[in-house]
Chain A
Amino acid sequence: MTTESLIWLIPLPPVLAFFLIVLFTNKNKALSHSVAVGAAFLSWLGAMIVFVRALGVEHLGEHPFESSINWLPTGETWLKIGVLVDPLTAAVLFFVAWTVLMIFIYSIGYHNYGQPAGDHDHKGLPPHGATVEEHGHKRVVPSIEPMYSRFFAFIGLFAFGMFTLVVSDNLLTLFVGWEIMGLCSYLLIGFWYGKPSARNAAIKAFMTTRIGDVFMLIGIAFLYSVTGTLSFREIFSEEILHTLASVPTGVFGLSAAGLIAVLLFIGTVGKSAQWPLHVWLPDAMEGPTPVSAMIHAATMVSAGVYAVIRMFPLLTAGWHEGAALTPAMSFVAFIGAFTALFAATIAVAQNDIKRVLAYSTISQLGFMIAALGIGAYIAAVFHLITHAFFKALLFLGSGSVIHGMEHGVLHTGNHNVDPQDMFNMGGLRKKMPITFWTFLIGGFALSGFPLVTAGFWSKDEILADAFVNGHMVVFATLAIAAFMTAFYTMRQITLTFLGQARTKEAEHAQETPFTMTVPLMILSVFAIGYGWVGIPEHFPLIGGLVPNWFHEFVGGTLAEHPPVLEFNIVPLLTSLVVALGGLGLGWYVYRNVNSPAEDKLQINVLKNKWYFDEIYEVVFIKPALWFSEVFVSQWMDKGFIDGILHVFGPATGGVGSAIRNYFDIPFINRFLGDGTADATWWVGKNLRPIQTGRIQQYLVLSLIVLFLVGGLLYYFLLA
Chain B
Amino acid sequence: MVPLSWYLIFAAALFSIGLFGVLVRRNAIAILLGVELMLNAVNINLVAFWRYGEALAMTGQVFAVIVFAVAAAEVSVGLALVISVYRRRNTVVADELDMLKW
Contact = CB atoms under 8 A, between A and B. Distances in A.
Contacts of A120: none
B101 A692 contact: yes
A688 interface: yes
B52 to A, nearest CB: 24
B2 interface: no
A700 interface: yes
B56 interface: no
Contacts of B95: 694, 696
Interface string B58-79: 0000000000000000000000
Contacts of A694: 94-95, 97-98
Interface string B73-89: 00000000000000000
A691 interface: yes
A700 B23 contact: yes
B57 interface: no
A688 B102 contact: yes
A693 B22 contact: no
A691 to B, nearest CB: 5
Given A694-B98, A695-B94, A696-B95, 9 more contacts: A691-B102, A693-B97, A694-B95, A695-B97, A696-B31, A696-B94, A699-B23, A700-B23, A703-B23
A693 B101 contact: yes
Interface string B10-25: 0000000001001110
B23 A692 contact: no
B100 interface: yes
What 9 pairs between A and B have smallest CB-CB spacing?
A: A693-B101, A693-B98, A693-B100, A694-B98, A691-B101, A688-B102, A691-B102, A694-B95, A696-B23
Interface in A357-384: none
Contacts of B99: 693
Interface in B1-47: 19, 22-24, 31
Nearest to A689: B102
Contacts of B97: 693-695
Contacts of A699: 22-23
Contacts of A700: 23
Contacts of B101: 691-693
A236 B97 CA distance: 110
Contacts of B23: 696, 699-700, 703
A700 B19 CA distance: 10
What range describes how many residues of A lie at the interface? 10 to 19
A686 to B, nearest CB: 12
Contacts of A691: 101-102
Interface in A524-544: none
Contacts of B94: 694-696
Nearest to B100: A693
What range describes how many residues of B lie at the interface? 10 to 19
A696 B98 contact: no
Interface in A664-702: 688, 691-696, 699-700
Contacts of A703: 19, 23
Contacts of B102: 688, 691
A269 B29 CA distance: 114
Contacts of A693: 97-101
Nearest to B22: A699
Nearest to B24: A696
A693 to B, nearest CB: 3
21 contacts: A688-B102, A692-B98, A692-B101, A693-B97, A693-B98, A693-B99, A693-B100, A693-B101, A694-B94, A694-B95, A694-B97, A694-B98, A695-B94, A695-B97, A696-B23, A696-B95, A699-B22, A699-B23, A700-B23, A703-B19, A703-B23
A335 B31 CA distance: 120
B61 to A, nearest CB: 29
Contacts of A688: 102
A681 to B, nearest CB: 14
A288 B23 CA distance: 107
Nearest to A688: B102
A692 B94 CA distance: 12
Contacts of B19: 703
A689 to B, nearest CB: 9
A694 B99 CA distance: 8
A703 B16 CA distance: 12
Nearest to B99: A693
Contacts of A695: 31, 94, 97
Interface string A694-714: 111001100100000000000
Contacts of A696: 22-24, 31, 94-95
A700 B22 CA distance: 10
A422 B40 CA distance: 127
A696 B23 CA distance: 5
A694 B19 CA distance: 16
Contacts of B24: 696
B92 to A, nearest CB: 13
A699 B31 CA distance: 12
A684 to B, nearest CB: 9
A26 B4 CA distance: 106
Interface in A259-290: none
B66 to A, nearest CB: 24
A695 B25 CA distance: 12
B24, B31, B101: residue with the most chain A Cβ atoms closer than 10 Å: B101
B39 to A, nearest CB: 15
Contacts of B100: 693
A699 B19 CA distance: 10
B78 to A, nearest CB: 12
B82 to A, nearest CB: 13
A176 B19 CA distance: 100
Contacts of B98: 692-694
A695 B22 CA distance: 10
A693 B22 CA distance: 16
A700 B94 CA distance: 14
B70 to A, nearest CB: 19
Nearest to B26: A696
Contacts of A692: 98, 101
A699 B24 CA distance: 10
Nearest to A699: B23
A696 B98 CA distance: 10
B18 to A, nearest CB: 12
A451 to B, nearest CB: 120
